[in-house]
Amino acid sequence: MENQIILATKQLTKKYGDVRAVEQINLNVKKGRIYGLLGRNGAGKTTIMKMVLGLISISEGEIEIFGERLKGNEKSIYTRIGSIIETPSFYSYLTGTENLEIFSRLRGTIKKNAVKSALEVVGLPYKDKKPFVSYSLGMKQRLGIANAILNDPEILILDEPTNGLDPVGIVEIRKFLQTLCHEQGKTIIISSHILSEIALLADDIGIIHDGHLLKEFSMNELEEKNKRFIEIKVNSVTKATQLLENMMKCKNYTVTDKNCIEIYDENLNTEEIADCLVSHGIGLSSLVFKHETLEDYFTSLTGGAKFE
């Protein structure tokens, strides 16, 4: 069950005229896990989600959900999916309860008291008199989540659900999504441009950049891959690398800057390195143990400046 793919896209492409907003995306979302779509604003995260939800047409490629092709099975598939796309959208002149009653009726096949329990889950009052227009941003997001879980879906697709929430609200939503996933077995696809958010929440991550899926990996893989390393800053990278290779027999390193080297060799210790470099007349300005984070990995993949 762990590795069962519940949602897969194959060569998914969206074109607007000659512009390719999303190109040949192959996503693989595993059942019962939280999949984080990570990318900058305008990378194509929402476009992918909208294509999955049938809100925009697919230019090329196809989508499989629950092992079935989406095309032709929309009705049976979409009743098993809950979503928030962009900002939570409701009728401004109706109350939260009235709004959910409308959408529950549209779904048709939901349980009795579904509205009440969905509101309870997200901590919003049932049958209150406050219209949606008077809700705070946090309340709007909560109502959006209540609407998404209204029909007890197997997959939740959430586009930046913590946008506009205060820190306490973000923690609450994070815990709630983790509970939904790890205790109730829901599969969650969440998009965000906030790296820390995805790092804390997701089990698997897909990095989207300029409409392309650069990498898909699990957080466990990232942790294993990005072992601790020693970062040294020296006045001569050329001499230092020669010494590392010839004197210390170290080949597992990367020059990351004109005076910076990252050493991945676990057998070397800091004292040994410092002694060797200094004794050969190389100026050593810094020597620290480091651990590559998701941010570093994202930056190295996208080749851009540091992320938020």
- From the list 6, 85, 156, 250, which residue makes contact with other proteins (rule: CB under 8 A)? 85
* Look-up of token digits 């100026």: 283
226-239 residues labelled b (16+ CB within 10 A) or e (exposed) = beebbebbbebbee
When the beta carbons of 56 and 274 are compared against other proteins, the nearer one is 56
When the beta carbons of 99 and 302 are compared against other proteins, the nearer one is 99
When the beta carbons of 79 and 236 are compared against other proteins, the nearer one is 79
Q: Build a one-symbol-per-residue string for 139-168: x at contacts with other proteins by CB under 8 A, - elsewhere.
A: --------x---------------------
Query: Could you tell me which stretch among 27-35, 92-100, 206-214, 247-255 binds other proteins (CB under 8 A)?
Result: 92-100
Contact in structure between 282 and 235 (CB atoms under 8 Å):
yes
**Which residues 6+ apart lie within 8 Å of 173 measured at CB?**
141, 145, 161, 162, 165
Q: Is the dihedral of CA 263, 215, 18, 50 positive or negative?
A: negative
- From the list 4, 11, 26, 92, which residue makes contact with other proteins (rule: CB under 8 A)? 92
When the beta carbons of 26 and 89 are compared against other proteins, the nearer one is 89
When the beta carbons of 100 and 243 are compared against other proteins, the nearer one is 100
- From the list 68, 69, 91, 235, which residue makes contact with other proteins (rule: CB under 8 A)? 91
Q: Is the dihedral of CA 62, 67, 70, 72 positive or negative?
A: positive
To other proteins, the closest distance from the beta carbon of 1 in angstroms equals: 26
Q: What are the φ/ψ torsions at residue 16 (nearest 5 degrees)?
A: -115, 95
Does residue number 57 form part of the binding site for other proteins (CB under 8 A)?
yes
Which DSSP symbol is given to 281?
A: T
Task: Calculate ∠ Cα 233-236-239, nearest 5°.
Answer: 115
- How many residues line the site for other proteins (CB under 8 A)? 30
Question: Which residue ranges make up the site for other proteins (CB under 8 A)?
Answer: 50, 53-57, 74-75, 78-79, 81, 83, 85-87, 89-94, 98, 101-103, 105-108, 147
